[in-house]
Amino acid sequence: MAHIPLSVFSAVGEKFYDAFIYKDRWRYITDGFALTILITLVAVVIGTILGTIVALIKVAHTNNPKKFKISNAICNLYLTVIRGTPIMVQLLIVYSIVLLPFKGTSLNLYACFIAFGVNSGAYVAEIIRGGIQSIDHGQMEAGRSLGLSQRTTMIKIIFPQALKNVLPAIGNEFIALLKETAIAGYIGVQDMTKGGDIIRSITYDPYTSLLSIAAVYLLIVMLFTHLLTRLERRLRKGDQR
């Protein structure tokens, strides 16, 4: 167990005042929190859209290998590269290379949107693809035999069932994403982690600042897990006997 000096436990109020109240330092946390959530939400949207498109292309190609040959190859390249390199490196590449030609004040934030969104898309794609392929082939046949097109059957019959099955996995992916955004500070985005670290560097008290942001992360994750469980339960009503 790490050595914790007794002084941590004394003067808690004073430490708290120093870290958060004095000179409105709490704004580092709240502004950071807002950015962390913003980056996560934008990345979730990008990731879901990208992931769904990639998954659908891959499934369509698997069902009919003559279709989407080039798109499928691009998707495979995307999945391999994104899942084969660290998110940290991807973030630096997006910020320092991809966005190099652009000028502006919030480029580092945009870099976060792109890097985390594109990264998440690769993982979401594989989850959704697995979900679609786990649905019994008879469902597609039933839809098609009624005269529904491949597309309509996919949208109205296969996809809703697949989504329900993969919801826990997608939820976990987004929880992981939320925590991964903590590296945004590396390219100068003042997210919640960076905010906490700034307070630490001002107050020389790592305990209050860092443990506080850890608690906030934990709370968000717990809240999100709770919401996810409830949503799952609602979607599961078709399984009740």
Partner 1 sequence: MINVKNLQKTFHNAGGDVSVLNGIDQTIEKGEKVVIIGPSGSGKSTFLRCLNLLETPTGGEIWFQDTQVNSAKVNIDQLRQKMGMVFQHFNLFPHLTILKNITLAPVSLKLQTEEEATEKAMKLLERVGLADKAQSYPVQLSGGQKQRIAIVRALAMNPEVMLFDEPTSALDPEMVGEVLEVMKELADDGMTMVVVTHEMGFAREVATRVLFMDGGQVLEEGSPKEFFGNPKNPRLKDFLSKVLH
Which chain residues interact with partner 1 by CB under 8 A? 136, 138-139, 141-149, 152, 156-157, 160-161, 164, 237-241
Neighbour count for residue 227 (Cβ, 10 Å): 11
Report in angstroms how near the CB of residue 165 gets to partner 1 at its nearest: 10
**Which residue lies nearer to partner 1 by CB, 71 or 161?**
161
**Which residue lies nearer to partner 1 by CB, 7 or 145?**
145
**Which residue lies nearer to partner 1 by CB, 14 or 136?**
136
Helix (H) or strand (E) segment spanning residue 59: helix 26-63
Report in angstroms how near the CB of residue 180 gets to partner 1 at its nearest: 32
Report in angstroms how near the CB of residue 161 gets to partner 1 at its nearest: 5
Report in angstroms how near the CB of residue 237 gets to partner 1 at its nearest: 7
Q: Are 123 and 87 in contact (CB under 8 A)?
A: no
Chain centroid, CA 32 distance in Å: 17
Report in angstroms how near the CB of residue 168 gets to partner 1 at its nearest: 16
Report in angstroms how near the CB of residue 198 gets to partner 1 at its nearest: 48
* Distance (Å, whole) CA 36 – CA 189: 9
Q: Which amino acid appears at position 146 of this protein?
A: L
Alpha carbon separation from 129 to 54, 91, 208, 211 (Å, rounded)? 8, 25, 43, 38
Token pair 């708290």: residue? 16
**Which residue lies nearer to partner 1 by CB, 73 or 142?**
142
**Which residue lies nearer to partner 1 by CB, 3 or 241?**
241
Report in angstroms how near the CB of residue 134 gets to partner 1 at its nearest: 13
Neighbour count for residue 54 (Cβ, 10 Å): 24
Token pair 């807002």: residue? 34
Q: If you ran DSSP here, which 8-state letter would residue 136 be given?
A: -
**Which residue lies nearer to partner 1 by CB, 30 or 150?**
150
Token pair 């409830």: residue? 230
**Which residue lies nearer to partner 1 by CB, 77 or 146?**
146
The DSSP code sequence of 182-220 is: GGGGGGT---HHHHHHHHHHHHS-HHHHHHHHHHHHHHH
